[in-house]
Amino acid sequence: MKTSDAFPKKATAVIIGGGISGLSIAWHLAKKGMKDIVVLEKSYLGSGATGRCGAGIRQQWSSEANCLMAKKSVEFFEKAQDTLKYDGDIQFKQEGYLIVASDKDEADTFKESVKLQNRLGIPTEILSKKEALKVVPHLNPEAFHSATFCKTDGHLYPFTTLDAFYKASLSEGVKVFTYTEVLAIHKEGDNIHAVVTDKGVIKTSIAINAAGGHAGVIGKMAGIEIPVYSQNREILVTEPVERMQGPMVISFTKNIYCQQTPHGAFIMGRGDDRDAGYSVHSTHAFLDAMAKTVTDLLPPIGNLRVIRQWGGLYNMSPDHQPIISSTPVQGFYVACGFSGHGFMLAPMTGLLLSEIILNEPPSLPIENLSLSRFKGKTYQDVEKNVV
């Protein structure tokens, strides 16, 4: 993206990371009246986890913080096309997530999550095997026990959704610089003073770390240790075919999620345990495991051709819930540790962090999202529903 703007020497706030979180934060801050916001992206927009994610939108979580963020984000996405005045199509398709339980034990563990979700107003239902087969008839009846289904979950297209936040941010006066890498963060005492890039130095008192898989690295630049690590998670996509599956089908024990996008392609991923690091390479091991898992659970999909595979980084936090927080460094804020779900939570990420920065009362409880929650304690409320 070329920009006619000269590279700024100062800014009110510098956001590091041109993914969905960074642009949602930028848009929310600008909407609330902040001027001179700069977003920096070291590659093209969405080149990190946003553009590599599974395009799923889910509210069926086991932790209250994730449930609430997801529910409010879905409410945003339902109106996002108008709210962001987008000229393209964000392709929000609400045909549900069907979470299958492999056996009775897993089904029992789902009951508690569903109770929590229902209490928070998320319309999840428990389905018998027979009922689940009505929703997705090509499921292998031998491969699962029962399911839970939330009809307002679904699909959202990451690239155009990011483009919508990008264009809306531009209309609010935000300046976005792609192919611009952050090299250092300067402090004066315990205050943010400047962000150093390969294009120049920007003087600012607010720096926001929305660097996704690289959030730990950016944290260190400001002298803040964030307890996150990154892990490669792989995905593949098939050729587009006639519509045959409405919901996302997902299983935690089988380690798979698989949906048909509005465009017709099937997109599927799994989360094999990998060493922490920054590699996003594709592997044969993933392909083999994925082919076995998907043809077992959804046999007709075996007939589809894989046309592409790729990897992307999950930025894992200790309790698999986001870190949306101020830090001990004055003016340094973080939005990271999404543990694979930053895309679907982005509207609330932007709203909550803008409220934290502007000292407004938060729309949701933020104690469970704070960086300080990890200090010297064991985590009570670890999110279990993660692939």
Report the distance separating Cα 143 and Cα 182, nearest Å: 48
Question: And the tokens for 311?
Answer: 């990897």
Question: And the tokens for 172?
Answer: 């609010």
Task: Tell me, rounded to whole angstroms, the distance of Cα 387 from its chain centroid.
Answer: 13
Residue number with CB closer to another protein (287 or 382): 287
Number of alpha carbons in the 13 Å side-chain half-sphere of residue 327: 25
We find the least distance from the C-beta atom of residue 46 to another protein, in angstroms, to be: 6
We find the least distance from the C-beta atom of residue 86 to another protein, in angstroms, to be: 12
We find the least distance from the C-beta atom of residue 216 to another protein, in angstroms, to be: 24
We find the least distance from the C-beta atom of residue 288 to another protein, in angstroms, to be: 4
Number of alpha carbons in the 13 Å side-chain half-sphere of residue 231: 19
Residue number with CB closer to another protein (3 or 372): 3
CA distances from 86 to 41, 53, 273, 326, 348 (A): 22, 21, 38, 31, 19
We find the least distance from the C-beta atom of residue 257 to another protein, in angstroms, to be: 15
We find the least distance from the C-beta atom of residue 132 to another protein, in angstroms, to be: 22
Residue number with CB closer to another protein (293 or 385): 293
Question: And the tokens for 354?
Answer: 């803008």
We find the least distance from the C-beta atom of residue 307 to another protein, in angstroms, to be: 5
Residue number with CB closer to another protein (296 or 381): 296
Residue number with CB closer to another protein (18 or 56): 18
Residue number with CB closer to another protein (86 or 149): 86
With beta carbons less than 8 A apart as the criterion, state whether 163 and 317 touch: no
Count of Cβ atoms closer than 10 Å to residue 281 Cβ: 9
Q: What does the binding site for another protein look like in residue numbers (CB under 8 A)?
A: 1-3, 43-47, 51, 88, 159-160, 163, 238-240, 263, 282, 287-292, 294-295, 301-310
Count of Cβ atoms closer than 10 Å to residue 111 Cβ: 12
Question: And the tokens for 324?
Answer: 């949306």
We find the least distance from the C-beta atom of residue 270 to another protein, in angstroms, to be: 13
Task: Please give the single-letter amino acid code of residue 100.
Answer: V
Residue number with CB closer to another protein (10 or 308): 308
Report the distance separating Cα 247 and Cα 259, nearest Å: 6
Residue number with CB closer to another protein (299 or 362): 299
Task: Tell me, rounded to whole angstroms, the distance of Cα 226 from its chain centroid.
Answer: 18
With beta carbons less than 8 A apart as the criterion, state whether 257 and 269 touch: yes
Handedness of CA 293, 313, 41, 174 (dihedral sign): positive
We find the least distance from the C-beta atom of residue 309 to another protein, in angstroms, to be: 6
Rg over CA atoms, the chain: 20
We find the least distance from the C-beta atom of residue 245 to another protein, in angstroms, to be: 14
Closest of 369, 316, 311, 309 to residue 341, by C-alpha: 316
Residue number with CB closer to another protein (47 or 140): 47
CA distances from 70 to 32, 338, 345 (A): 22, 12, 6
Q: At what angle do helices 20-31 and 158-171 cross, to 10 degrees?
A: 30
Residue number with CB closer to another protein (27 or 266): 266
